[in-house]
Amino acid sequence: MLYSRIYNCLRPRHLTTMVHGLALGLTILTGLDAFAAEGDPTPAQIAETAAGIPDPAKMTPFAKQVPVIFVTRDPRKPETWNNLKQFWNRGKVDSVDPATGDKVVREAVYIKVPLGLNSAPPVPTENPMTQEKVLLGKKLYFDTVISSNNKVSCASCHNPALGYTDQLKTSTGIFDQKGGMNAPTVYNSGYHLLQFWNGRAPTLEDQAQGPPQNPLEMHDGKGHPWYQVVSRLRQNPEYVEAFAKVFGTPPTRDGVAKAIAAYERLVLTGNSIVDRAEMAMRERVEEEGEGKLETNAADFTKVLKAAFAAKDTEALGALGLEAGKDEGKVAQVAASIQRGKVLFSNKARCNSCHVGDNYSDSQFHNLGVGAKDGTWPEGADLGRFGAQETGHKDPALVGSYKTPGLRQLVSTAPYMHDGSEGTLEAVIALYNRGGNLNPHLSNKMRDEPAEREAAKNGQKAIIPRKLLLTMDEEADLVLFLKALQGEPAADIIAKP
């Protein structure tokens, strides 16, 4: 996809406005000012809309700020977490006002981090979470005002009703233009070490600054994209007031990025059937006082029965089960999920990349998605390699993409960075054949013993490692992936 840097180069009219002082200098020498349109903002104007120094007098006073506090389940004292009734809970917190040193009791929001997510998403120190900021971020996330033609919002491509994706092969942006990438889910994106399929943005704050200036997503290509977004927000008294309270500044690019990122850190999903079975297993082992910390089919039976009793149509529906009808299938389904779970970490080795609470190592691997006839096509996207800084490029990462999490697969098809795999069955078939052969195939996808054998015979070959899964095993793995489907976000997060 084109992002601003390339895009600037393609559009000389913007050279003067976007490359700041350097380009202005050039203007005089080369006559580039012929390209500068009337009314384009000056570098100083752009800087002023990019960020501002807070005026504390405008901000909500410390004692009235409502911090948002993540609570994860601590197995040593689970009561605090257990006692939270829902995702978003009101409470109080003791605080010390940093300006005065006074002790104050403040209102607070306690977030019940979903079961299975054992840590909170990291929050940058310069962007602390408050209720006002998160709600501002949510408003911006759903607002088409960010796009030049007032038709596209973040939610257009990351729609809560569609698992925070668009369920398209590749996204459709402003003026119905097609991008080249599949929109990943925003769910649990706060846990990624880097953002985007190729990791080109270090944080959610950086990521959020991309789409509004992307000519295939939200920008019409006219004028300075961010200057325009901010100018539109400044014309709206509601935004002017909200930014003043949260940031002590008028609307700025810095504030937009921070507010949206703060909202996204609350787009969490967990409490899948697998999470519940793992908790049931822990309780069982604790009760028995012995045994391995490994689930068995009975753990899945227990939680599936509970899901039927609670008419949990979300979790059951993900597995193709109907509440009130399919209870007779519990034992069979439980056994299949358990077999799939074992395959995931053993024979199929999925956990060599899909690890941790979000089932992602946040690393980059070439599976051959995008390869053609054993080659990496000329001119094709280079994945992580393409995004690495010059001077830091790792040739082992040509055509590699970030390992996605696996907690929303039932609602986020099609799959992979280019949306090329339509179903989970197709994804498993890809892995079963060892990925798609190409010169940059990840070591983890290769049959290294067979390659060494070939080398002895003087052949230098890349040999994909076939998993040799049977059809039944493939079906078990698919069912396990469906059992990872997390609970959808609470209404306060997902409803505009």
Of 169, 410, 431, 463, the one binding ligand HEC by CB under 6 A = 431
- Say if CB 273 and CB 340 are below 8 A apart: no
Give the single-character DSSP code of 413: -
Q: Which stretch binds ligand HEC (CB under 6 A): 5-13, 315-323, 399-407, 448-456?
A: 399-407
Stretch that binds ligand HEC, among 29-37, 112-120, 203-211, 488-496 (CB under 6 A): 203-211
**Is residue 139 within the footprint of ligand HEC (CB under 6 A)?**
no
Q: CA-based angle 218:385:197, to the nearest 5?
A: 40
Q: Which is nearer to ligand HEC, 196 or 308 (CB)?
A: 196
Give min distance, CB of 424 to ligand HEC, in A: 6
Q: Does 211 interact with ligand HEC (rule: CB under 6 A)?
A: yes
Q: Measured from the CB atom, is 157 or 333 closer to ligand HEC?
A: 157
Q: Which of 112, 158, 276, 302 binds ligand HEC (CB under 6 A)?
A: 158
Rule CB under 6 A: say whether 403 interacts with ligand HEC: yes
d(CA 233, CA 237): 8
Beta bridge partners of 339: none
Q: What is the DSSP letter of 121?
A: P
Q: Of 43, 179, 221, 317, which one interacts with ligand HEC (CB under 6 A)?
A: 179
What is the closest distance, in whole angstroms, from the C-beta atom of residue 27 to ligand HEC in the complex?
Answer: 31
Is residue 369 a contact residue for ligand HEC (CB under 6 A)?
yes
Residues in binding contact with ligand HEC, number by CB under 6 A: 55
- Nearest distance from residue 71's CB to ligand HEC, in Å? 23
Q: What is the DSSP letter of 160?
A: G
Q: Determine contact, residues 255/243, Cβ cutoff 8 Å.
A: yes
Stretch binding ligand HEC (CB under 6 A), from 53-61, 146-154, 290-298, 319-327: 146-154
Measured at the CA of 489, the angle between CA 485 and CA 490, to 5 degrees, comes to: 140
Q: With respect to ligand HEC, which residue has the nearer C-beta, 173 or 255?
A: 173
**Segments in 11-70 forming alpha helices (H):** 15-18, 20-30, 43-50
Choices 80-88, 105-113, 415-423, 457-465 (CB under 6 A): range interacting with ligand HEC? 415-423
| Residue 184 contacts ligand HEC per CB under 6 A | yes
16 binds ligand HEC (CB under 6 A): no
Does 415 participate in binding ligand HEC (rule CB under 6 A)? yes
Q: Does 4 bind ligand HEC (CB under 6 A)?
A: no
Query: Quick one: which segment of 80-88, 200-208, 325-333, 448-456 binds ligand HEC (CB under 6 A)?
Result: 200-208
| 374 Rama class: left (phi>0) / alpha (psi -120 to 50) / beta | left
Closest by CA position to 347, among listed 259, 441, 466, 173: 466
> What is the rounded distance in angstroms from the CA atom of residue 142 to the CA atom of residue 97?
33
Binding of ligand HEC by 18 (CB under 6 A) = no
Nearer to ligand HEC, 108 or 210 (CB): 210
Nearest approach in angstroms of CB 94 to ligand HEC is 33
Dihedral Cα 336, 341, 345, 348, nearest 10 deg? 40
Pair 335, 481: CB distance under 8 Å: no
Query: Of 108, 113, 183, 319, which lies in the binding site for ligand HEC, with binding defined by CB under 6 A?
Result: 183
Calculate Rg over the CA atoms of the chain. Answer: 25
Contacts of 124 (CB under 8 A, 6+ apart): 203, 205
Could you tell me the smallest distance in angstroms from the CB atom of residue 336 to ligand HEC? 15
Q: Does 308 bind ligand HEC (CB under 6 A)?
A: no
Using CB under 6 A as the binding rule, the residues of this chain from 252 to 281 that contact ligand HEC are 260, 264
> Could you tell me if 290 and 87 are in contact, meaning their C-beta atoms sit under 8 angstroms apart?
no
Residue 132 vs 418, nearer CB to ligand HEC:
418
3-state secondary structure of 1: coil
* β-strands 68-71, 103-112 pairing: parallel
Quote the strand ranges of 405-481, DSSP E: none
Contacts of 380 (CB under 8 A, 6+ apart): 370, 399
Paired tokens of 133 = 């900021």
Binding site for ligand HEC (CB under 6 A): 1, 146, 152, 154, 156-158, 171, 173, 179, 181, 183-184, 186, 189, 192, 195-197, 204, 207-208, 211-212, 217-218, 260, 264, 348-350, 352-354, 365, 367, 369, 401, 403-404, 406, 409, 412, 415-417, 424, 427-428, 431, 442, 444-445, 477, 481
